[in-house]
Amino acid sequence: MEIKTEIITIGDEILIGQIVDTNSAWMAEKLNQIGISVFQITTITDNREHIMKATEESLNRVDIVLVTGGLGPTSDDVTKKTLAEFFDSKLILNEEVLASVKKRLEERNIELNDLIRGQAYVPDKCRAFVNEWGTAPGMWFETNGKVLVSMPGVPTEMKGIMEKYVIPGLKHKYRLPAILHRTLLTYGTFEAHLSGLLEDFEKALPDNIKLAYLPSAGRVRLRLTAKGDDEKKLELLLDKFEAEMVKRVGEYVYGKNGDTLEQITGDLLRKKGKTLATAESCTGGMVSHLITTVPGSSDYYKGSVISYANEVKINVLGVPEEVISKQGAVSREVVEQMAAGVSNKLKTDYAIAISGIAGPTGGTPDKPVGTVWIAVKSPEKTITEKFIFGFTRLENITRAAYTSLNMLRKLLLNESFQ
C-alpha cells in the first residue's frame, strides 16, 4: 500500500509572492527518503474557512497531512484554534510546553505575557511536540486511521520538529516500502533527443522503475526511481539500469545526483594536480564566479582576466591588435589567443577563454546576438568551438559559462585516457 501525504502551507506571504515556499521542497525530500510520497502541496490563506475546507479535502485525499504556518501568537494566526474546532477539541494548558516556553524566554530576558503564554494551550485531542527552536508546539492529531500534524512555518522550527518527532513518528506508525532515486546529469543536448535514444530502454523498464526527464537551461536530468521492499535488490536493479542508460547517452552525461559541472571539473583538476585560469569577455566573470563557489577551489584555480574591453585583451592578455581588427573580438583566433595569454600570464596548465555577443545589442547578420566562441586549452592542445545560443542576455551568459565548463571537463577526461 502506498502511503500518500499532502503538505498544506498556510501563509499570505507566499500567496502575494513575498517569499518562496522552500519548506515544502525540504519536507517532500525528507518524506520521499523514507518512502512516503507527496501527492499534493497546497498553499492557502490564513483564514478559518479556507483552513477548514482544505483540511477536510486533504484528509479525504491522503493518509497523512502535514500543515505548516499560522501558529504565531498574534490574532492573525488562526491555525491552532481552527484545527481545535475541526477536531472538536478544547484548548488546554500543556505544562510541558509552558515550561519550555518559559525557559526560552528566560534565556532571552523576555517577560512572559498572555500572548506568549497562549502558545502553551494545545488541543486536548492531540499529542504536543515541544518546540526547542521556538515557542509554538507541534501537534499530532489522529482521526479514522489518518494523521494530521501541524507545525510552525519558520524553517528552523519546522525542520527541528520534523526531524525529532514527525519523521520517526511516521516511520513507527507505517510499514513503508523503500524508494530509491538515481539521477544522471546530462549537458549539451535536448530532452527530445535523449528520449529518442532511450525510447526502447524506457519501454522495457519493469513496473517498479520509472524514468523521468527533468530539463533546465542546457541541462537534462534523467531520474530513475525504484520502489520495492528489498532495498539491496533495488540498488542492484538501479545499478544495472543506470549502466544501461550510460551506454546509450553516456557522451552527454557529466555527473550524478547532486553533482555540479563546476565541482566535477574542479575535482578532475585536483585529481590531476593541474591548475586553471580563465579569460572571459562576454561572460564577464560568471565562469570564475561558478568555479569559486566550490569550497577549496583555490587548490586548482588561480584566477582570471576579465577582458571586457579590447584594450585589456591586448594589453593584459597579449592578443595582437591586428588579430582583433582583422577577425573581430568574437572569433576563433581571439579566444585561442586569450586562452594562451591567460595560461601564460597566470602560469596555469589549463585555460578557458570566452568571447561573444551576450546582447541585447551588438549583433550583426554575420554574428547574431548569442554568438559565442569558446576555447579550452591544455598543455597539449586547444579545443575551440562556436555556439549560437540566441537567448536573453543572462541566459546567453549562463549557457556560455556552463558550456565552457563542460568542454573543459571533456578535455580533462580525454587526456586522462591518453
Task: For residue 156, state whether it binds its own copies (rule: CB under 8 A).
Answer: yes
d(CA 179, CA 166): 19
Task: For residue 324, state whether it binds its own copies (rule: CB under 8 A).
Answer: no
Site for its own copies in 170-189 (CB under 8 A): 181
d(CA 404, CA 352): 7
d(CA 222, CA 225): 10
For the CB of residue 403, give the shortest distance to its own copies in the complex, in Å: 13
Whose Cβ is closer to its own copies: residue 217's or residue 413's? 217
What is the residue-wise DSSP string for 185-233?
EEESS-HHHHHHHTHHHHHTS-TTEEEEEEEETTEEEEEEEEEES-HHH
For the CB of residue 88, give the shortest distance to its own copies in the complex, in Å: 25
List the grid coordinates of 268.
Answer: 578532475
List the grid coordinates of 333.
Answer: 583566433
Element (H, E) at 98: helix 95-107
Whose Cβ is closer to its own copies: residue 142's or residue 320's? 320
Task: For residue 260, state whether it binds its own copies (rule: CB under 8 A).
Answer: no
Residue 350: CB atoms within 10 A of its CB come to: 25
Among the residue ranges 92-100, 139-147, 247-255, 290-298, the one whose residues contact its own copies (CB under 8 A): 290-298
x/- mask, its own copies, residues 96-135, rule CB under 8 A, reads -----------xx-x--x-xx----------------x--
List the grid coordinates of 112.
Answer: 512572559
For the CB of residue 306, give the shortest distance to its own copies in the complex, in Å: 4
Whose Cβ is closer to its own copies: residue 142's or residue 231's? 231
d(CA 151, CA 171): 18
Site for its own copies in 373-412 (CB under 8 A): 388, 390-395, 397
Task: For residue 154, state whether it binds its own copies (rule: CB under 8 A).
Answer: yes
Task: For residue 73, state whether it binds its own copies (rule: CB under 8 A).
Answer: yes
List the grid coordinates of 223.
Answer: 531520474
Whose Cβ is closer to its own copies: residue 29's or residue 321's? 29
For the CB of residue 303, give the shortest distance to its own copies in the complex, in Å: 4
For the CB of residue 148, give the shortest distance to its own copies in the complex, in Å: 18
Task: For residue 309, state whether it binds its own copies (rule: CB under 8 A).
Answer: yes
Cα atoms in the 13 Å half-sphere on the side-chain side of 30: 21
Task: For residue 13, state whether it binds its own copies (rule: CB under 8 A).
Answer: yes
Task: For residue 222, state whether it binds its own copies (rule: CB under 8 A).
Answer: no
Task: For residue 304, state whether it binds its own copies (rule: CB under 8 A).
Answer: yes
Whose Cβ is closer to its own copies: residue 142's or residue 174's? 174
Among the residue ranges 83-91, 266-274, 275-283, 406-414, the one whose residues contact its own copies (CB under 8 A): 275-283
- Residue 183 vs residues 223, 257, 370: alpha-carbon distances, Å: 4, 5, 30
Burial class (CB in 10 A: 0-12, 13-18, 19+), 148: buried
Whose Cβ is closer to its own copies: residue 125's or residue 201's? 201
List the grid coordinates of 323.
Answer: 588579430
Residue 386 near residue 353, CB atoms below 8 Å: no
Residues comprising the chain, all counted: 418
Task: For residue 292, state whether it binds its own copies (rule: CB under 8 A).
Answer: yes
Task: For residue 254, state whether it binds its own copies (rule: CB under 8 A).
Answer: no
Site for its own copies in 31-70 (CB under 8 A): 31-32, 37-45, 50, 54, 57
Q: Pick from 108, 109, 129, 107: which is nearest to 120 by CA?
A: 129
Task: For residue 361, state whether it binds its own copies (rule: CB under 8 A).
Answer: yes
Whose Cβ is closer to its own copies: residue 388's or residue 413's? 388
For the CB of residue 235, give the shortest distance to its own copies in the complex, in Å: 18
Phi, psi of 140 (to 5 degrees): -110, 115
